[in-house]
Chain A
Amino acid sequence: EAQVTQNPRYLITVTGKKLTVTCSQNMNHEYMSWYRQDPGLGLRQIYYSMNVEVTDKGDVPEGYKVSRKEKRNFPLILESPSPNQTSLYFCASSPTPKGGLYGYTFGSGTRLTVV
């Protein structure tokens, strides 16, 4: 089944403890990106990647890192999480950056709480 897999689904952590949210897609998509969703703000793009070893900042990149060493994987790293990073996170992929007729396929989301 074509899908984007995120892990974990739920995570509670403490301020300052480094964490990684994994994202993997099995559709051979070139484009991948991360979003955070907060009430009243919709989804905001954190980082995106056009291909292996090509990443760039979205609209809210502060406090996050990403890497794209393989085409299928695009982990999101929070090196020193803070409570304002408590949010619902989505990973998404697409055959092309513009999405087009097939849109962007989203993972199931990761609900992160930083205390």
Chain B
Amino acid sequence: AQKITQTQPGMFVQEKEAVTLDCTYDTSDQSYGLFWYKQPSSGEMIFLIYQGSYDEQNATEGRYSLNFQKARKSANLVISASQLGDSAMYFCAMSRGGNKLTFGTGTQLKVEL
């Protein structure tokens, strides 16, 4: 079965420090995509970053980078220089079979002064 696992229900980080949010996935597909979304308390889903299964380089978008380890089936999100506005729920997701998107259960990140 296709599955996304986020083992950290909650994380705390101090402002300006880096934080890694873990994500492992399980799929038998050769071609798939991995995404991270941010959900602030207001509820909207904000797309952060994408990694294709055939991409050799780790994806980066500003302060966000995706640490993609294909053999380990992990796709961890790294946020550098955390800001108070980064406090939110973060979801890892995988597109599979070309038409389905599976989400993990999320990690609640709290950035502290």
> Which B residues lie within 8 Å of A33 (CB)?
101
What mask results when residues 84 to 115 of chain A are scored 1 for a CB within 8 Å of chain B, else 0?
00001010100001111111111011010000
Cβ A109 vs Cβ B35 within 8 A: no
Known contacts A88-B43, A99-B95, A103-B50: does B105 contact A45 (CB below 8 Å)? Answer: no
Cβ B44 vs Cβ A97 within 8 A: no
Q: Which residue of B lies closest to A101 (CB)?
A: B50
Q: Is the interface of B mostly helix, strand, loop or mixed?
A: strand
Cβ A104 vs Cβ B99 within 8 A: no
Partner of A100 from B50, B100, B102 at Cβ < 8 Å = B50
Considering the chains assembled together, what is the distance between the CA atoms of A45 and B102 in angstroms? 7
Cβ B100 vs Cβ A108 within 8 A: no
Cβ B99 vs Cβ A100 within 8 A: no
Which residue, B4, B91, B99, B101, has most C-beta atoms of chain A within 10 A? B101
Q: Which residue of B lies closest to A41 (CB)?
A: B105
Partner of A42 from B31, B43, B52, B104 at Cβ < 8 Å = B104
Cβ A45 vs Cβ B101 within 8 A: yes
What mask results when residues 94 to 108 of chain B are scored 1 for a CB within 8 Å of chain A, else 0?
010011111111100
A56 is an interface residue with CB less than 8 A from chain B: yes
Known contacts A88-B43, A98-B33, A99-B33: does B106 contact A42 (CB below 8 Å)? Answer: yes
Cβ B100 vs Cβ A58 within 8 A: yes
Partner of B101 from A40, A41, A104, A111 at Cβ < 8 Å = A104
A95 to chain B, nearest CB (A): 13
> Which A residues lie within 8 Å of B99 (CB)?
31, 48, 50, 56, 97
> Which A residues lie within 8 Å of B43 (CB)?
88, 108-109, 111
B22 to chain A, nearest CB (A): 14
What is A's interface to B at a CB cutoff of 8 Å? 31, 33, 35, 40-45, 48, 50, 56, 58-59, 88, 90, 92, 97-106, 108-109, 111
